[in-house]
Amino acid sequence: MTIKVLSVVGARPQFIKAAVVSRAFMESGAISEVMVHTGQHYDEGMSDIFFEELAIPVPAYNLAVGSGGHGAQTGRMLEKIEEVIKRERPDWMLVYGDTNSTLAGALAASKLHVPVAHVEAGLRSFNKKMPEEQNRIVADHLSDLLLTPTQTANRNLAREGIGGDRVILVGDVMYDASLFAGDNAGGDLIDRLGLVPDRFILSTVHRAENTDDPARLAAILGGLSSVADKLPVVLPLHPRTRNILAGNAELEALAAKLTLIDPVGYFDMAALEANAALIATDSGGVQKEAYFHGKPCVTLRDETEWVELVELGWNRLQPPKSAEAVAEAILSTVGKKGKSGERPYGDGDAGKRIADVLMRHARVS
Ligand code: UD1
Ligand code: UDP
């Protein structure tokens, strides 16, 4: 018996997660996947590079929705995904994470009574102002299968009355991805940037709550700039952040001491992470990758979904209140390692588990 899974991806972290799961689907020999790329991310360095590097099959559909406000972007996705579902009549809709592409995939399928499986279900920041929190709450409540990465996620769902057979702890696909990349996949980027291993800070900043608040963005850039007086700071710039800096001379001046580079591919990013002294980020995925590479992380947010890392001492939360607070947090955390020997994200077989669960729970029409 073969089952048909329609998977929806659209943003950078979803390509990385889908690479793991698609590989497991192919290895299962019993799942035929139809991948839909919504087109939420479209720059070469935000999209194509991941498909090439990670050998993800070319999506059967690219909806090319592009950028826009939440309503317009999600609305365009909904309309187009609905058409694809009607044409393909899948056994499962598979969505990843918490982006607008996740919301659109889950909602379109649910309205057409196609069962929804959500990878990375159950995460909560408990900050309902975040678009990601809104997206994940709706996706979770519409899902028939909640594929969770951590015990914390299971507990969060239980608190919202979601439990039983629908919730399956599979582990974190980002851990599978990280094992696949290894530590040394990044070629010569470290040399090209003139960096010395363990003598630089890697940073990423893209979350709306930081980029769209001038005071918070100034605190982050000002803090990183002070750090750069002591250790080089490399910042692969997300296009959202790039666009905001481009229109603001004050912020550009604050960023002048930083090594700003274009977004890099997954393997180059793994090499930067593996060689950094510390990672300062507001990314969800990068917080965990810091841990996978044994690096301390300062999370430039008010809260995190990945609370295990704070509890284990690998992650320090630092709300970007002021440049001084950001710089102090980073400089005083360099060299501070957390507890070792724990495996909060599973065994690196989340992709295979997802394939197995989808086959086991399919209601083939
Ligand atoms: C989205 C997700 C966020 C995720 C992030 C991963 C939502 C609401 N947010 O945020 O959860 O952490 O992706 O990176 O879904 N842009 C380009 N080129 C691109 C893509 C974006 O120039 O290829 C620019 C556009 O100006 C766009 C802006 O970046 O308006 C923001 O893009 P968007 O996809 O809306 O949100 P992200 O900030 O990327
Ligand atoms: N990433 C990358 N190149 C970059 C920045 C990030 O390959 O220049 C990868 C990173 O290694 C991680 C993922 O993108 O696997 C995280 O995506 P992002 O930070 O955009 O989104 P989030 O995880 O916060 O939703």
CA of 135, nearest ligand number: 1
Query: In terms of Cα–Cα distance, which of 181, 156, 148 is closest to 292?
Result: 181
Indicate if ligand 2 lies below 6 Å from the C-beta of 285. yes
- What's the pLDDT score for residue 351? 98
Show Cβ contacts of residue 119 under 8 Å, excluding neighbours closer than 6 positions. 17, 21, 94, 95, 96, 97, 147, 170, 173, 354
CA of 210, nearest ligand number: 1
The alpha carbon of 360 and the centre of ligand 2 are apart by a number of angstroms equal to 31
CA of 47, nearest ligand number: 1
User: What 3-state DSSP class applies to 32?
Assistant: strand
The alpha carbon of 230 and the centre of ligand 1 are apart by a number of angstroms equal to 31
173-181 helix and 284-292 helix, angle to the nearest 10 degrees: 50
Looking at every residue in the chain, the average pLDDT score rounds to 96
Show Cβ contacts of residue 96 under 8 Å, excluding neighbours closer than 6 positions. 7, 8, 9, 13, 14, 17, 18, 21, 102, 118, 119, 120
Query: In terms of Cα–Cα distance, which of 130, 146, 126, 135 is closest to 103?
Result: 135
- What's the pLDDT score for residue 324? 98
Q: How far apart (Å, rounded) are the C-alpha atoms in residues 84 and 206?
A: 31
The alpha carbon of 287 and the centre of ligand 2 are apart by a number of angstroms equal to 10
What topology does CATH give the domain 183-333?
A: Rossmann fold (3.40.50)
The alpha carbon of 55 and the centre of ligand 1 are apart by a number of angstroms equal to 23
Query: What residues line ligand 1, using a CB cutoff of 6 Å?
Result: 11-13, 40-43, 46, 67, 98-100, 131-132, 206, 239-240, 243
Q: Which residue has the tokens 């080089």?
A: 232
Tell whether the model's pLDDT for residue 365 goes beyond 70. Answer: no
Q: Which CATH number fits domain 3-172+346-364: 3.40.50.2000, 3.30.499.10, 3.40.50.300, 3.40.50.720?
A: 3.40.50.2000
Tell whether the model's pLDDT for residue 364 goes beyond 70. Answer: no
Show Cβ contacts of residue 246 under 8 Å, excluding neighbours closer than 6 positions. 252
Tell whether the model's pLDDT for residue 2 goes beyond 70. Answer: yes
- What's the pLDDT score for residue 185? 64
Kindly list the domain boundaries of the chain, sorted by start residue: 3-172+346-364, 183-333
Catalytic positions, please?
Answer: 206
User: What 3-state DSSP class applies to 195?
Assistant: coil
Name the residue of 8, 38, 41 to mutate for ligand 1: max ligand atoms within 8 A of Cβ: 41
Across 17-35, average pLDDT: 97
Across 346-353, average pLDDT: 98
| Residue 227 contacts residue 259 (beta carbons within 8 Å) | no
> Is 3-172+346-364's fold the same as 183-333's?
yes
User: Could you report the per-residue pLDDT of 262-297, keeping only the tens digit for each?
Assistant: 999 999 999 999 999 999 999 999 999 999 999 999
- What's the pLDDT score for residue 346? 97
Indicate if ligand 2 lies below 6 Å from the C-beta of 236. yes
Tell whether the model's pLDDT for residue 184 goes beyond 70. Answer: no
